[in-house]
Structure 1
Amino acid sequence: MYRRLVILSLVLTLVVVVFGAYVRLSDAGLGCPDWPGCYGQMSPAHAAEHIAEAESAAPGGPVSLPKAWKEMIHRYLAATLGFIILVIAVLAWRQRRDPDVRPGIAVLLVGVVIFQGLLGKWTVTLLLKPAIVTGHLLGGLTTLALLALLAIRVAGVRRRFASPGLIRLARLGLLLVVGQIALGGWTSTNYAALACTDFPTCHGSWWPAMDVGNAFHVVRELGMTATGDLLSHEALTAIHWAHRLGALATATGLLVLMVGLMRQGFGRMAALLALMLVGQVALGIANVQMSLPLPLAVAHNGGAALLLLVLVLINTRLMPARAWGVAGRKTHENAYA
């Protein structure tokens, strides 16, 4: 039961993360402007009258029946996931003597999910503040990564010796991916994905005019500077360009990691990493060239989650060898025997 629930929750978390991106990108984040219900009701069907009034007062605004359903379905899925994680934590604590069970991670997950619920509430009640929305995204991916650690353990994935240098590269790759996801979330929550509509340059320049200070000021309203002025196009350009530069740095770091993996006999993981990286870069370019079509934008978010899972898997599989010269050679001899 524990193993099945861990795998189920991992899959459900991926669904929640991707569907959350769909809700955000389809401008349905305020489809129900209160929390946890919709106009105090359990479902948009029960709040149809209030939704109709809000839509008639602001046609084309953030509130409509389809948007309300998108928002509430996301909440239903998240609540279901939270309940499953709570059950996992209870089972993990009961089976804490089992070497394949990690009760500490399971209990930590409960805390992360509670904080995620608060971020979800603040996302709505604080009207999509970029810092809150980005934090909510990162919290979802933290949940995904922690569940991946539990799933890898119960799946019996074997660890193999790797050199200290390769382990450092894997950790750097994970940090680069996390940083790039944060930049991507900041770009999306500030609606800066189309601040540059050409590629590889931006506005025909390799270094466009940018307002970095206002772009990365964390405590502010959506679309506003910290002083309450409208966020300039130069600030949006700075956000977008930082995401592109981050993509370049991340791709470079992951390419170096791939070479290291292949040299030390981790060819399959290198191939999987290459597949994820190429897909993400292609989706990023296509989103710019095709003016951010919703399916591609959602796929780009899903690809980021999958890339994170691959980096978690790689870091989990690499076992440090104190005597690399002996243990590493024996491992490779066994692997190719």
Structure 2
Amino acid sequence: MITINNNDRYFFYLVSFSFVLSLAVVALGAFTRLTEAGLGCPDWPGCYGFLTVPETEFEQQTAAAFFPQTPLEPQKAWNEMLHRYIAGMLGLFVVVINIMAWRQPSRPKLLPVLLLVMVFIQALLGMWTVTLVLMPVVVMAHLLGGFSIVSLLWLLRLQLQLPLSIITNMTLKTLYWLRIAAIFSVVVVISQIALGGWTAANYAALVCSQLPICEADWRQLFDAKAFLLLQPQHDSYQYGVLDYGQRVSIHVVHRIGAMITTVAVLALAWLCWLQPLLRRYSLGLVLLLIIQIALGVTNVVASLPLAVAVAHNVTGLGLLLAMVTVSYRVGVGSRLPREVYQPLKKEQPHG
């Protein structure tokens, strides 16, 4: 049951709605990328010089005159503009969150400010995604920026809930190792998400069609240059500019990363299972991990079905949020007043 201070109830609802909206933005971003609609509108923030997708004959003729190299594809253009509209709406909600946060002294200030900064950076990355014609490092950064905004909103939502003690019957040593494991797992999951973004941005998702690693001789083909963030200048990065060996290198590292991530998540899930009040988090981690693995395998076997690929993005985000939740819960527990810890220490012998 969620407990909220009455003074912050409406603020909590605003943050919760914004969080749900941010999930929609991430899902739409994945859908836009996977339908090759990232350049559906060749300019930013409008579309062919208009605030909406050109529809009338005059608008379409104008669009063709100003952008002769990029013929209008209405469906892709609408995919891109819908994503921009909802992202813009989320930005406005983040502004309102900041206004409400600063009007009430007791409300958190740091996370709202960080959110505002991230929204500004994300808008720049959205613009550069178009103006730099899908440069992989920008596309990957845009993905990570979206995940960061969702995570910050989720953290703010957790912060607005009255703290719940999760350290009952837990020793300080156990709590310490839980914190270390949680932070390590978050880093591993973020790294794997970045690898997934790099794989998608370089169109390497379909380069290996067999399990568990790749049908190609990836050891011979492996090229570390595939991971250089700054690539040679090209007119467009759509459909990728790396050679076969480099794409195989990226794909294989992403799969190996998935194996490492699996071990890290299962280890954290086991540590949580050992603590009765953390078992629900353990079950959630394992469930999300199983779903994510199944979606990843389906992407390989079925050649990246659109719905499965979008779900793979969203479930990866869900796994990150679960990790963030565990890290936050054990972190809050470790910062409780010192006197709370006294019953947790082993009783010292007398005399």
What range describes the TM-score normalised by the shorter chain of this pair? 0.7 to 0.9
Match of 1:283 in 2: 295
Map 1:316-327 to 2 at 5 A: 316-318=328-330, 319-320=333-334, 326-327=343-344
Structure 1 partner of 2:94: 85
- 2:49–2:63 contact (8 Å) kept in structure 1: no
Q: How far apart are 1:135 and its partner, in Å?
A: 0.4
1:69 and 2:78 matched: yes
Using a 3 Å threshold, how does the CA distance of structure 1 residues 87 and 324 change in structure 2: closer, same or farther? same
Q: Whole-Å Cα distance in 2 between the matches of residues 236 and 327 of structure 1?
A: 52
Q: How far is the alpha carbon of 1:263 from its aligned partner?
A: 1.0
Confirm or deny that 1:142 pairs with 2:142: no
Aligned to 1:217: 228
Instruction: Tell me if 1:249 matches 2:260.
Output: yes
Alignment of 1:51-70 (within 5 A): 53=64, 63-70=72-79
TM-score (norm 2): 0.85
**Are 2:218 and 2:248, in contact at CA under 8 Å, matched by a contact in 1?**
no
Paired residue for 1:333? Answer: none
The CA deviation at 1:218 is 0.8
Which whole-Å CA distance do the structure 2 matches of 1:223 and 1:201 have between them?
Answer: 30
CA distance in 1, matches of 2:345, 2:87: 43
Match of 2:269 in 1: 258
Q: Select which of 118, 137, 158 maps to 1:131.
A: 137
Change (3 A) 1:317 1:222: farther
What letter is aligned with 2:312?
H
Deviates further, 262-271 or 235-244: 262-271
Change (3 A) 1:222 1:84: farther
Contact 1:183 1:243 in 2 (8 A): yes
Question: What is the CA deviation profile of residues 221-245 of structure 1, one whole-angstrom value per residue up to 9, with x for unaligned ones?
Answer: 5889x9xx95210000011011001
1:328 Cα offset (Å): 7.6
Tell me which residue corresponds to 1:38.
Answer: 47
Shift of 1:276: 0.5
Query: Among residues 19, 25, 42, which one is paired with 1:16 in the alignment?
Result: 25
* Equivalent in the alignment of 1:180: 192
CA deviation string 1:3-39 (max 9, x = no partner): 1110011000011001100000100000000000011
Q: Does 1:103 find its partner at 2:117?
A: no
Question: Quick check: 263-272 or 229-238, which moved more?
Answer: 229-238
Q: Secondary structure at the match of 2:221?
A: coil
- The root-mean-square deviation of aligned C-alpha atoms, in Å, is 2.7
Query: Which amino acid is the alignment partner of residue 320 of structure 1?
Result: S
Give the drift of 1:293.
Answer: 0.8
Structure-2 residue corresponding to 1:298: 310
Secondary structure, in 3 states, of the residue corresponding to 1:160? coil
Amino acid at match of 1:70: N
Query: With structure 1 as the length reference, what TM-score do the two structures score?
Result: 0.88
How many residue pairs get aligned? The number is 321
d(CA) in 2 for partners of 1:267 and 1:51?
60
Q: Which of 304, 308, 333 lines up with 2:320 in the alignment?
A: 308
Q: How far did 1:95 drift?
A: 1.2
Question: What displacement does 1:308 show?
Answer: 1.1
The structure-2 alpha-carbon separation of the partners of 1:285 and 1:191, relative to structure 1 and needing over 3 Å to count, comes to same
Match of 1:203 in 2: 215
| Structure 1 residue 159 displacement after superposition | 3.9
* AA of the residue aligned to 2:334: P
Supply the distance in 2 between the matched residues of 1:22 and 1:223 (Cα, whole angstroms).
Answer: 24
Alpha-carbon shift at residue 133 of structure 1 (Å):
0.6
Determine if contact 1:163/1:328 at 8 Å carries over to the other structure: no
Q: Distance in 2 between matches of 1:51 and 1:178?
A: 43
Structure 2, unmatched stretches of 5+, are: 1-9, 168-173
- 1:187/1:50 CA distance change after superposition, 3 Å: farther
Gap change, CA 1:12 and 1:210, over 3 Å in 2: same
Identity of aligned residues (%): 40
2:123 maps to amino acid: G
Q: Which runs of 5+ in 1 are unaligned?
A: 331-337
Residues 1:57 and 1:39: Cα distance change in structure 2 (over 3 Å):
closer
1:51 and 1:27 map into 2 onto residues whose CA distance is 23
**Pick aligned residue for 2:158 from 137, 152, 161:** 152
Residues 176, 250 of structure 1: 8 Å contact kept: yes
